[in-house]
Structure 1
Amino acid sequence: MADGLLTERTDKRHWRTLPVAVRIAVLYLGARVVTTGFLLLAASLSGVGSRFGPGAGIGDLMVGWDAQWYWFTAVNGYPVTLPLTGTGAVAENQWAFMPVYAYLSAALGTVFGSWGTAAVVISLVAGYLACLVFYRMLRPAGSQHPGGPQPALDQQTATWAVVFFASAPLAAMFQVGYAESLFLLWLFLALLLVQRRRYGWLYLLVPLMGFTRPGVLAFALFLGLFGISRWIRRRVEPLRGREIVHIVALGGLSVVVGFAWQVIAGVVTGDTGAYLATELAWRRNWLTGADSAFVPFDGFLRGAAFWFGSWGWGVGTGYVVLAASVIGVAALLIFEPHVRRLGLELRLWIASYLGYLLVVFFPQSSIFRLLLPISPLWGAAAMPRSLIWRVGVLAACLLGQWWWIYNMYALGNTYWQIP
Structure 2
Amino acid sequence: MAQPLLTRGLRRWTRTPVLGRIAVIYALGRLVTTGLLALAASQSSPLSRFGAHPDLADYVVGWDGQWYWTVAVFGYPSVLPVDASGQVSENAWAFMPVYAYLANAVGFGEWGRGALLVSLVAGFGACVSLHRLLRARIGTSAALWAVAFFAFGPLAALFQVGYAESLFVLLLLVALDLVARRRYVLLYAIIPVMGFTRPGVLAFALFLGLHGIARWWRRDAEPLHGREAVHIVALGALATAVGFAWQVIAAVVTGDPGAYLKTELSWRRNWLADEAAAFVPFEGFVRGAGFWAGRWGLTEGAGWLLLALLVAAAVSLLLRSRAVRALGADMRLWSASYVLYLLAVFFPQSSTFRLLFPLTPLVGALAVPRSRTYRWGVLLVSVLLQGLWIHQMYGLAHTYWQVP
TM-score strictly above 0.5: yes
1:395 equivalenced with 2:380 (yes/no): yes
1:374 is displaced (CA, Å) by 0.5
| Fraction of identical pairs, as percent | 59
Tell me what 1:137 maps to: 133
| Match runs of 1:272-291 below 5 Å | 272-291=257-276
Tell me what 1:371 maps to: 356
| Match runs of 1:44-55 below 5 Å | 44-55=42-53
Provide the aligned C-alpha RMSD in A.
1.1
Matched letter for residue 61 of structure 1: Y
1:154 is displaced (CA, Å) by 1.9
Matched letter for residue 277 of structure 1: K
Deviates more, 1:153-162 or 1:239-248: 153-162
1:163-198 deviation digits (Å, cap 9, x = unpaired): 000111110000101000000000000000001111
Tell me what 2:22 maps to: 24
Tell me what 2:79 maps to: 81
Q: Following the alignment from structure 2 to structure 1, what is the Cα–Cα distance between the partners of residues 271 and 208?
A: 34
1:58-110 deviation digits (Å, cap 9, x = unpaired): 11112111000000111100000000001100010000000000001111121
| Match runs of 1:279-318 below 5 Å | 279-318=264-303
1:35-80 deviation digits (Å, cap 9, x = unpaired): 0000011111111110011131111112111000000111100000
| Match runs of 1:180-199 below 5 Å | 180-199=165-184
1:5 is displaced (CA, Å) by 5.2
CA contact 1:44–1:57 (8 Å) conserved in 2: no
Q: Following the alignment from structure 1 to structure 2, what is the Cα–Cα distance between the partners of residues 47 and 319?
A: 36
Return the match for 2:235 from 250, 268, 290.
Answer: 250
Return the match for 2:217 from 215, 232, 253.
Answer: 232
1:103 equivalenced with 2:88 (yes/no): no
| Match runs of 1:281-360 below 5 Å | 281-360=266-345
1:20 is displaced (CA, Å) by 1.6
Return the match for 1:92 from 90, 93, 100.
Answer: 90
Q: Following the alignment from structure 2 to structure 1, what is the Cα–Cα distance between the partners of residues 156 and 336?
A: 22
CA contact 1:262–1:275 (8 Å) conserved in 2: yes
Deviates more, 1:48-57 or 1:174-183: 48-57
1:10 is displaced (CA, Å) by 3.9
| SS of equivalent to 2:162 | coil
1:368 is displaced (CA, Å) by 0.4
Q: Following the alignment from structure 2 to structure 1, what is the Cα–Cα distance between the partners of residues 10 and 386?
A: 29
Equivalent residue pairs, number: 404
Deviates more, 1:248-257 or 1:113-122: 113-122
Matched letter for residue 313 of structure 1: L
1:179 equivalenced with 2:175 (yes/no): no
CA contact 1:43–1:55 (8 Å) conserved in 2: yes
Q: Following the alignment from structure 2 to structure 1, what is the Cα–Cα distance between the partners of residues 339 and 53?
A: 39
CA contact 1:51–1:412 (8 Å) conserved in 2: yes
1:155 equivalenced with 2:140 (yes/no): yes
Q: Following the alignment from structure 2 to structure 1, what is the Cα–Cα distance between the partners of residues 15 and 202?
A: 40
- TM-score w.r.t. the length of structure 2 is 0.98
1:285-330 deviation digits (Å, cap 9, x = unpaired): 0000211200000000000000001111111111111111111111
Tell me what 1:127 maps to: 123
Question: Whose helix fraction is larger, Structure 1's or Structure 2's?
Answer: 2
Q: Following the alignment from structure 2 to structure 1, what is the Cα–Cα distance between the partners of residues 8 and 181?
A: 34
Q: Following the alignment from structure 2 to structure 1, what is the Cα–Cα distance between the partners of residues 5 and 376?
A: 24
Q: Following the alignment from structure 1 to structure 2, what is the Cα–Cα distance between the partners of residues 11 and 34?
A: 21
Q: Following the alignment from structure 2 to structure 1, what is the Cα–Cα distance between the partners of residues 328 and 11?
A: 29
Give 5+ residue unaligned stretches, structure 2.
Answer: none
1:377-412 deviation digits (Å, cap 9, x = unpaired): 110011142112111111111111011100111111
- TM-score w.r.t. the length of structure 1 is 0.95
1:217 is displaced (CA, Å) by 0.1
| SS of equivalent to 1:284 | helix
1:11 is displaced (CA, Å) by 3.0
Tell me what 2:62 maps to: 64
CA contact 2:60–2:115 (8 Å) conserved in 1: no
1:332-375 deviation digits (Å, cap 9, x = unpaired): 10111000000111110000000000000100000000000001
Matched letter for residue 182 of structure 1: L
Tell me what 2:40 maps to: 42
| SS of equivalent to 1:296 | coil
CA contact 2:119–2:158 (8 Å) conserved in 1: yes
1:6 is displaced (CA, Å) by 5.4
Tell me what 1:145 maps to: none
